[in-house]
Each structure stands twice: as C-alpha cells, then as structure tokens.
Amino acid sequence: MREPMYAIRGELKALLLMGALVLFVRRALTVYEHLREGDPDPLLAFPLTVIFPTLLILLLLRMPPTRSREGALMCIGTIVQLTLILLLPGLALYLALGMPVVFLAVELFETRMPRRIREPLVRMAVL
C-alpha cells in the first residue's frame, strides 16, 4: 500500500508566497529611502536580512510532500516565522532564536488541540 503524503494546499502556498514577496518589496523600498538619506547600512544588511529569509521561504514552498502531517505543518510554521522575520526587522534575532517554538506549537496543536477544532484547520492548510 502506498504511504500517504502531505503537502501544503496550493491556495495557502500562493498566499504565503504573496506575503513574502510584498514584504521583500517593502524592505527593498526601505533600503532605497535610507540610501537617499545617505545611510548605506540597510543596503549592506539586505542580503542576510531580506534576501536570505525570502529564499528560505521559496525553498520551503518548493519542498516535496512530507510523509507525516506534522512535517507539512512544521513547514508552514517555519514559513510564517520567516515571514515575521521579514515583517519585523527589529525583532529578527529574537524570532530566529525562538524558531524551536514553532515545532512545539505544531506538536501541541497535533497532540493537545481538540479534534473538532484541529481537523478543519488542518484541512484548510494541508492536502
């Protein structure tokens, strides 16, 4: 018998991708504004603080289906955390250090959340 595989729903993928790209453009515009004011620091930080998390989001969105449902949920959780890193540059280091919380949240969601709440939510996110 074939093992079931789990993937992020296409609609959610599109939403996550759109969010990341909007934030990328916003951060790029911020760099431009700072450059006009003669401050090159955000430009120097741009590859690590903006390009890198955006690339990671793109890679996670292209990941093949996982063998466990938690795998797909962890992938979504990581993308959301990376999106927050793009959204809140002042908190980026704290959010990066708190990455294991994503895995705990998924574990608690899968093991402690009442089934009647959990299942509809998962169906919205995972195929």
Partner 1 sequence: MIAFDLPVPLMWALRWLLFLGPLGAALLLAAANRGQDRKLVGALFSFLYGFALIFATHQVALAMGWWRYGGDVLMMMGMPADIWIGGALLFGPVLYLAFPSAKPVFLVLPIILGLHGTIFSSLKPLVEAGPFWFAGVVVVFLVAHIPAIYLARWTALDQRLPLRAALLALGYGFLAFLVLPSLIMQAMGGGWDIPNQPPWIVAACVPLLGLCFIVGLSAVQMFVLHGEGTPIPLDRTKRLVRTGLFAYVINPMQLSTALAWIVMGLGLGNIWVASASVMAWIFVAGMVRWHHRNDLMVRFPEGWPTYRSNVPEWLPRWRPWCPQPATLRFDPANSGHARFVRWLDRRRADGLILEPHPGGPLRYTEPHESTHFDGAAALCKALNHINLAWALVGAAMLLAILPLRYAFPWRAGAVPDKLAEHHG
**Positions in the binding site for partner 1 (CB under 8 A):** 40-41, 43-49, 51-52, 55, 59, 67-68, 70-71, 74, 93-94, 97, 100-108
Matching residue, tokens 């993308």: 79
User: In whole angstroms, how close is the CB of 127 to partner 1 at the nearest point?
Assistant: 19
User: In whole angstroms, how close is the CB of 84 to partner 1 at the nearest point?
Assistant: 15
Q: CB under 8 Å to 24, separation ≥6 — which residues?
A: 50, 54, 86
5-21 residues labelled b (16+ CB within 10 A) or e (exposed) = ebebeeebbeebeebbe
User: In whole angstroms, how close is the CB of 11 to partner 1 at the nearest point?
Assistant: 26
Nearer to partner 1, 8 or 106 (CB): 106
Nearer to partner 1, 16 or 106 (CB): 106
CA 51 to chain centre: 14
In the Cβ-directed half-sphere of 64, how many Cα atoms lie within 13 Å? Answer: 3
Nearer to partner 1, 41 or 119 (CB): 41
User: In whole angstroms, how close is the CB of 113 to partner 1 at the nearest point?
Assistant: 14
Nearer to partner 1, 11 or 68 (CB): 68
Q: Amino acid letter at 54?
A: T
For 122, the enclosing helix (H) or strand (E) is helix 115-125
